[in-house]
Structure 1
C-alpha cells in the first residue's frame, strides 16, 4: 500500500505532467492561425504566473525560466514555440496519463488559447479542424465531438456570423480559466445538451444513473444492465464509462443547477477521463438494438 508521502509525490508528478500537456495545448491554440497578438501572449503569461509557486522545484526550475525568457519581449517566434514544445516533451514522463487523457488536456487549453483574444477566426477554426482530424482517437471524449460538430456547422457556409461567433466563444470560453478546478463549473444549458450526440454505447461498460427514469426503477435499471454484462455503480469515479441522465430529469436542471453526479462527471471529463454523459433514450435504443 502506498504511504501518504508516496501519494503526495505521485500527485506532484502527475500535476506536472498535466501542466505540460496544458502548456503544449495553449501554445498550439494561440499559434494555430499563424498569428500571435498581445492578448494571447498575456494568456501565456497567465499560465506562467499560475505555476510560479513551483519555479524553484524540479522540473519547473527548467520550464518556468524558459517560458519567462521567451515571452519577455512580448513576441513568440516559431523557433521559441518549437523550443518550448521540445522542452515539454523532454521533461514529460508520459507515465501518469494515457494518450487520450493527455491529448484531451491539450485540447482543453488549445480551445482556451483560441478564445484568449475573444475572437475566433476562420483560420483558427480551420487549424483546429485539421488538429481534430489528426486526433480522431479522441472521438466520444468530451469536448471532441461537441467542438468537431460545431466547427463543421459553422464552416459549412465558409462564414462566421455574429451569432456563431458568440456560440463559439461560449463553447471555447468554458476552458479559458487556467486553474484546473475552475474549468467547466457552471453549465447553463439544459440536460439534453449535456448529453453525447449519437453515442456508441458498450453495454458491458460501467454505468451510473441520475435523475428520474421514464422506464426503469433503479433496481430494474441495475438488473437490465448486469444482465447484459455491464456494471452499475452509484459513484462517479474514473472507472465509470457512462453517466445516464433520466428522461424525466430533475426540475432544477432547467435552471442550470445540476446535481452532484453531473457536476462530478463534467469535472472528470474536463480532466480528460473518457466518461460519456448519455441520455436515457439513447440507452434504451442501445438495449433494444442489442
Structure 2
C-alpha cells in the first residue's frame, strides 16, 4: 500500500469515527423524549444516506437496514418503531463499545444454557439482534414450529439480542428480562437464553 493510500485510509477511518460520534449525539437527541416519531425517523434516514463513513460500524449497518425496512412500505408500525428505538439505544449507551457485543456473563442467562426445542415452544424476543429484526427472528423460529409473541408465564424461551448493554436493567427491554428472572426464580419453567445460543438451533 502506498503512503497516499495509507493516508486516505486513515482519513476515511477518522471521518467514519467522527460521523459515528455525531450520529450518537443525534440519536440521543431523538430519543430524549422517549418517543420516535415518523419525521425523526425520516430525518435520521436522510442523515445516514448523506454520511456513508458511519456505515462501517456494524450496529450502524443494522440501524440502516432497519430504517430501510421500516420505510419501504411508507408505513412505520409499532414493532418497527420499537426495533429502531432499541437499536438506537444500544448505539447510544455510554458503556457500549462500538461494534462489539455484550459478554453474555453480564446477563441473567440460564447456566448451563438449555437445549432449545423449537417445535411447540413459545418464544419471546427482546433487545436488538444481529440476525435481523425481531420479526425476522420470529419468522425463523416460527418456520421451525415455534409460536412467538409477548412475554407471558407460558413463554418457554426468552431470547435476548446480542446488542444489549451493560446497563440493560435500565433499558427499554430491562423490565421484560427482570420479569422473566422473577418468574424463573419462582419455579415457572422459562429459559432465558442469548441470541448466539438460539442461533445454534435454527
TM tier, smaller: 0.3 to 0.5
Bigger CA radius of gyration: 1
- Structure (1 or 2) with the greater helix fraction: 1
TM-score for the superposition, normalised by structure 2: 0.43
Tell me the TM-score normalised to structure 1 length.
Answer: 0.31
